[in-house]
Amino acid sequence: MTTTDTRATGGPAPGGERPRDERLLRTSPLRKLLSRPELGSVVGALAVLVFFAVAADGFLRPSSISTVLYASSTIGIMAVPVALLMIGGEFDLSAGVMVTSSALISSMFSYQMTANIWVGAGVSLLVTLAVGAFNGFMLTRTKLPSFIVTLGTFLMLTGMNLGFTKLIDGTVSTKSIGDMEGFPSAHALFASTLGIGGVDLKVTVLWWLGLVALASWVLLRTRVGNWIFAVGGNEDAARAVGVPVAKTKIGLYMGVAFGAWVSGQHLLFSFDTVQSGEGVGNELIYIIAAVIGGCLITGGYGSAVGSAVGALLFGMTSKGIVFAEWNPDWFKFFLGAMLLLATLLNTWVRKRAEATK
């Protein structure tokens, strides 16, 4: 094959210096863009932004933007690990109540043991990670569908949240921990507000951006990322080439648990008590954000940035309806419509990607 010219040795020089292959039709930048998983959500987000900028007075005011970003970040922090898990081919229905569990453990441990807040937060981190590991372990060991396994965890956690809170505190909410040692520093880390350039930015927005950056790095630039795509795309093939399938999946569930811990600590330290019944239903919101952001429900495809755009869409819609002074009941309608549109678009994109030429 010595006749095959410089193409062989040139390598994939960035910027397209490689001599063009005559069989490659000129790929328009638009077509290239179309194959990105985030595309649908970005287009949707722009449309919603323009829509509310016109329909709602003051939607683009700094204070509104900060409200929207805050709402998006609370969803986004969880949407990132949930998206990674979906790329890995699994669901976690317990993600919503796990946030509440994490907050409850933190609060109750500190209060009951009269310990420093950070001790409670540490214990909470360990327990939450253990719940995540349990999900992953049950899934990989029993080979049951993740829908069933995490539905079980979801119900058990819901019951335990209420049961233990009533048993220990006598009511459905925890005792205030606002005056306990370590509260100010924990509040600063998980629930403070920073003024940046005239916009009040909640610290959760930084957590959110940080997690998106970390997850994107892991997905695209590490071998673990390669494994996540592989176990979601074709588990048997991944196992056959030596990818540690079980470890990857357990790790993904522990990632969701870590997100739940961060969210839970935010929930706790924004106020100083936690309602034990919270969180039910949020797991679907995280999944919807991930799907709108381009994650395939069947796994193997998606991105962390997409989940962030999905969460942003969520925040814009929920707050935009308020700013436009509409009946907030319409929120769910918008959500459903967006979900359907996004899924249709994603299916179409995947068909193109998988199509045999």
Partner 1 sequence: MTVTEERVPLVELTDVSKHYGNVRALEGVSLEVHAGEITCVLGDNGAGKSTLIKTIAGLHQHDGGTLRIEGEETRLASPRDALDRGIATVYQDLAVVSLMPVWRNFFLGSEPRKGKGPFARLDTDLMRRTTREELLRMGIDLRDVDQPIGTLSGGERQCVAIARAVHFGAKVLVLDEPTAALGVKQSGVVLKYVAAARDAGLGVVLITHNPHHAHLVGDRFVLLRRGAMVGNHTRDEITLDELTKQMAGGADLDALHHELKRG
Strands (E), 224-341: none
Minimum distance between the CB of residue 237 and partner 1, rounded to whole angstroms? Answer: 4
What's the min distance (Å) between Cβ of 142 and partner 1? 20
Q: Least Å distance between CB 254 and partner 1?
A: 17
> In sequence order, which ranges of 88-195 are alpha helices (DSSP H)?
95-113, 117-142, 146-169, 183-191
Which residue, 1 or 167, is less far from partner 1 as judged by CB?
1
- Our CB check for partner 1 shows the closer of 89 and 120 to be 89
E strands, the chain, in order: 193-196, 199-202
Q: Are residues 309 and 83 in contact, defined by beta-carbon separation less than 8 angstroms?
A: no
| CA 243 – CA 228 distance, rounded (Å) | 10
Residues found near partner 1 in the complex (CB under 8 A): 1, 4, 7-9, 11-12, 21, 23-24, 217, 221-223, 225-227, 229-230, 233-234, 236-243, 296, 300-301, 350, 353-357
Q: Could you give the 3-state DSSP secondary structure of residue 295? A: coil
Q: How far is the CB of 189 from partner 1 (least distance, A)?
A: 21
**How many angstroms separate the Cα of 218 from the Cα of each of 95, 138, 231?**
21, 25, 15
Rounded distance between C-alpha atoms, residue 78 and residue 285, angstroms: 9
- Measured from the CB atom, the residue of 161 and 346 that comes closer to partner 1 is 346
CB of 89 to partner 1, least distance (A): 11
Report long-range pairs for 129-132 (Cβ below 8 Å, ≥24 apart). 129/254, 129/257, 129/258, 129/261, 130/257, 131/94, 131/98, 131/101, 131/157, 131/257, 132/98, 132/253, 132/254, 132/255, 132/256, 132/257, 132/258, 132/260
Q: Which is nearer to partner 1, 152 or 233 (CB)?
A: 233
- Report the residue number, 203 or 212, with the smaller CB distance to partner 1: 212
80 DSSP assignment? H
Give me the least distance between CB of 8 and partner 1, in Å please.
5
Judged by beta carbon, residue 190 or residue 229, the one nearer partner 1 is 229
8 Å CB contact between 259 and 211? yes
Shortest Cβ 1–partner 1 spacing (Å): 6
Contact assessment for residue 287 and residue 87, using Cβ atoms and an 8 Å cutoff: no
Question: Please, which residue, 63 or 222, has the CB nearer to partner 1?
Answer: 222
- Least Cβ distance, residue 351 to partner 1 (angstroms): 10
Which lies closer to partner 1 via its Cβ, residue 207 or residue 301?
Answer: 301
Nearest partner of 353 among 15, 31, 84, judged by Cα: 31
Could you give the CA distance from residue 181 to residue 254 in angstroms, rounded to a whole number?
29
Q: Which is nearer to partner 1, 196 or 353 (CB)?
A: 353
Least separation in angstroms between CB 346 and partner 1: 12
For the record, the structure tokens of 68 come out as 């929207």
Closest listed residue to residue 177, CA positions, set 280, 270, 58, 51:
270
Cβ proximity of 200 and 61 under 8 Å: no
Residue 136: which of 244, 286, 283, 279 has the closest Cα?
244
Nearer to partner 1, 91 or 301 (CB): 301
Residue 14 Cβ vs partner 1, minimum distance, rounded to whole Å:
9
